[in-house]
Structure 1
Amino acid sequence: MTRRGRSGLALTASMIAVAAIALTGCSSSGSGDKADSGSGDGGGKSDQTITFIPKQLNNPYTDVVLGGGEKGAKAAGFKSSQVVGPLDASASSQVSFINAETQAGTNVIVIAANDPDAVCPSLKEARDGGAKIVAFDSDTNKDCRDIFVSQVVAKDVALIQLKLISEQIGGEGDIAILSATANATNQNEWIKYMEEELKSNPDYSKIKLVTKVYGDDDDTKSFQEAQGLMQAYPNLKGIISPTTVGIAATARYLSTSEYKGKVALTGLGLPNEMRPFVKDGTVTEFALWDPAQLGYVAAFAGMALDDGSITGKEGDTFKAGDLGERKVGADGLVIVGPPTVFNKDNIDDYDF
């Protein structure tokens, strides 16, 4: 986890890359221009190129992920890297960007899928054309990519959020989930594990999930959904929001409402965004991993695939720069690292 003052993936370095991304992401098409990232120290071939396609541009969490990706691309030895992508997180919004990268002959495409299947035909065409496909953050159908770089073990993400909400509501009461998009692979997998655990674990027998709503990773819509939850479920005891946009928007709503201190909120958030809500008592605890490391590892995975040192099969290993060796598991899964719980005692130790 990146702490203030640490080298490697410290935020200062990541934010330099993020600033570059922000500048390239301001065009009317929502895409960035290729920029020379230098030869780095990864020893890659001189003409290798990599493109990152996030769920959407101008998302604070995504900015940190892409900052790590840009740094990783340079360190891995890519000649150039770029970020392109939609301004909205709809199911089919990434297809045109994938097609453009295929036509451009990009060596490696790194994508966080808004929908696991909608992007598949385009990704298959890209692979047929010789591109290596790395999914990160939110997976595609496994037949459409070479590797999936995941933040943590999906079930662990679900369980830690359930544990936090249970502790905060005293182990009983009605809860709701405010998610990102209805088709987001990672969100849906976490929610599936939460629902299974609620049904099977006697420790949660007095907790009832009353509804799931979707803010589409849009700040305004997420704020409105949080407001709507309180109007529709006046006895709600807690909200889980497994999305950084959703948890920040929900915290902002609760912080100025009559429900502050009465309705618990947890989920996945960025320490810098959530700090004021922890300090003012709106939020007790929440969790996340270091987002920059996700992009960083994805870049090195792309280089290892493109230079032929791995194929994405189970048991393959590759070095991810400063983060050391990573191993490919079943179905091409690569895990970055465990989640961290943030609260008033440690939140000032983190800067991202």
Structure 2
Amino acid sequence: MYANLPARRRAAAATAAACALATVLAGCSGTTKDSEEKAAASRASGATADPDAPLKKGLKLAFLRKQINNPYEKIVDEAGIAAAAEFGGTGKEVGPSDAGASSQVSYINTLVRQRQDAILIAANDPNAVCGPLKQAMRKDIKVVAYDSDTAKDCRQLFINQASTEEIGRSLVRDMAEQIGHQGKIAILSATQNATNQNAWIRYMKDELTKPAYRKMDLVRVAYGDDADQKSFQQTQGLLQAYPDLKGIISPTTVGISAAARYLSDSSYKGKVVLNGLGTPNQMRKYIKDGTVERFSLWDPEKLGYLGAYAAAALASGQITGAEGETFTAGELGEYTIGTDGEVVLGPPTVFTEDNIDDFDF
């Protein structure tokens, strides 16, 4: 799938030091099943990485989506499942029908009972999933967050699409350029608790405090809950409340496509600028008909592919999640783990009429 990307030799890994969990668990006593599992987790947490260890065969990976009918996450997960087959493992995807804060909890519990080797989760809420994810880690099930992070102590790794700060600031810079650095703007987000959305929005708001944007006014952050119809209605509501709105930033693939659909059939087409994060196949017709001039996104297939190899490296003992460790993600090459277990895929691509037909996802 990525034959054009060179593979690189793995470098020596750093020693892991996940001592906090070990310290808590070392004081446990008794012979119950739970205490035995905690003791095992304590011993494992002091292990060092073996960068020369081969990837284990037969690994079972489960991708837990925010919402089962999210087309973007389907692309991510299918690529991750295909990657698992490359190294002799198996993968599957599961997820709730809604993006509520606690909607993923029952799925995590089921995956723990199934003894998956790794759970990869795009979290709807950073904290609501923590209890069951910690239980998974105590049972030596590796936890990798992707796309939308959990709290840092609830997983070993976070596979980030691109620099969180760069995504947030670049969306504001693009909007400012398109509206001449003046006018009212709004943000159409996913859910109020979505970790990635909120992190991007924080950087958007911070960017807007700079003098260059003094004539721009963020009037509202609306939430479409990553549901197509609600995002469509929220777009309509924003324009009814602010008929002089100059632009909408939607950092969610569901939101931007719903907003584009509304604008394309309204009197606001060509008058209200829309940008954000979307997939080329969703947005192609809106680029072609002039509703949208540009939008951006990373390659979701590469995100899923990287996530699968990261989970396999954890489950095989090549890495522990410590800063500075490296692993090879198949044909994507070598990656280094950063602060707080973050692995960054790379910079996003900006899609315009000039290049959109070069992509198919």
TM-score range (shorter-chain normalised) is: 0.7 to 0.9
Q: Who wins on radius of gyration, i.e. which is larger?
A: 2
Deviations 1:289-321 (A, max 9, x none): 101111110100101111111000000000000
Of 176, 188, 211, 2:198 maps to: 188
1:135/1:145 contact within 8 Å kept: yes
Does residue 1:234 correspond to 2:243, yes or no?
A: yes
1:158/1:193 contact within 8 Å kept: yes
1:111/1:136 contact within 8 Å kept: yes
Does residue 1:275 correspond to 2:284, yes or no?
A: yes
1:239/1:265 contact within 8 Å kept: yes
Task: State the Cα distance separating 1:273 from its structure 2 match.
Answer: 0.8
Q: Which residue number in structure 2 is paired with residue 45 of structure 1?
A: 56
Counterpart amino acid of residue 218 in structure 2:
L
Task: State the Cα distance separating 1:350 from its structure 2 match.
Answer: 0.9
Counterpart amino acid of residue 317 in structure 1:
T
Task: State the Cα distance separating 1:43 from its structure 2 match.
Answer: 5.2
Does residue 1:300 correspond to 2:304, yes or no?
A: no
Q: Which residue number in structure 2 is paired with residue 174 of structure 1?
A: 184
Task: Name the CA distance, whole Å, in 2 between partners of 1:76 and 1:140.
Answer: 27
SS at match of 2:232: helix
Task: State the Cα distance separating 1:139 from its structure 2 match.
Answer: 0.2
Task: State the Cα distance separating 1:87 from its structure 2 match.
Answer: 1.2
Q: Which residue number in structure 2 is paired with residue 212 of structure 1?
A: 221
Q: Which residue number in structure 2 is paired with residue 81 of structure 1?
A: 91
- Aligned residue pairs, count: 314
Of 56, 72, 94, 2:83 maps to: 72
Does residue 1:57 correspond to 2:104, yes or no?
A: no
Task: State the Cα distance separating 1:76 from its structure 2 match.
Answer: 3.0
Task: Name the CA distance, whole Å, in 2 between partners of 1:317 and 1:147.
Answer: 12
Unaligned runs of 5+ in 2: 6-52
Task: State the Cα distance separating 1:48 from its structure 2 match.
Answer: 1.9
Deviations 1:201-258 (A, max 9, x none): 2111111100000000000000000000000111100000000000000000000000
Q: Which residue number in structure 2 is paired with residue 311 of structure 1?
A: 320
Counterpart amino acid of residue 134 in structure 2:
K
When the two chains are superposed, the root-mean-square deviation of aligned CA atoms in Å is 1.4
Task: State the Cα distance separating 1:261 from its structure 2 match.
Answer: 0.5
SS at match of 2:101: coil
1:294/1:336 contact within 8 Å kept: yes
2:147/2:196 contact within 8 Å kept: yes
Of 99, 103, 110, 1:93 maps to: 103
Counterpart amino acid of residue 68 in structure 2:
L
Structure 2 counterparts to residues 109-188 of structure 1, below 5 A: 109-188=119-198
Task: Name the CA distance, whole Å, in 2 between partners of 1:47 and 1:171.
Answer: 54
Of 252, 260, 265, 1:251 maps to: 260
SS at match of 2:63: strand
Deviations 1:303-342 (A, max 9, x none): 1111111000000000000100010000000000101111
SS at match of 1:90: coil
Counterpart amino acid of residue 209 in structure 1:
L
Task: Name the CA distance, whole Å, in 2 between partners of 1:277 and 1:47.
Answer: 43
Counterpart amino acid of residue 212 in structure 1:
V
Task: Name the CA distance, whole Å, in 2 between partners of 1:171 and 1:48.
Answer: 51
Task: State the Cα distance separating 1:146 from its structure 2 match.
Answer: 0.2
**Higher RCO (CA < 8 A, seq sep 6+):** 2
Task: Name the CA distance, whole Å, in 1 between partners of 2:257 and 2:263.
Answer: 10
1:178/1:213 contact within 8 Å kept: yes
Deviations 1:253-302 (A, max 9, x none): 00000000000000001011111101111001111110111111010010
Of 338, 343, 359, 1:329 maps to: 338
1:109/1:133 contact within 8 Å kept: yes
Equivalent pairs: percent with the same residue?
A: 56
Q: Which residue number in structure 1 is paired with residue 23 of structure 2?
A: none
Deviations 1:33-61 (A, max 9, x none): xxxxxxxxx95333421111010112111
Counterpart amino acid of residue 259 in structure 2:
T
SS at match of 1:126: helix
Unaligned runs of 5+ in 1: 10-41
Distance 1:119 1:327, change over 3 A: same
1:107/1:132 contact within 8 Å kept: yes
2:60/2:118 contact within 8 Å kept: yes
1:215/1:246 contact within 8 Å kept: yes
Q: Which residue number in structure 2 is paired with residue 38 of structure 1?
A: none
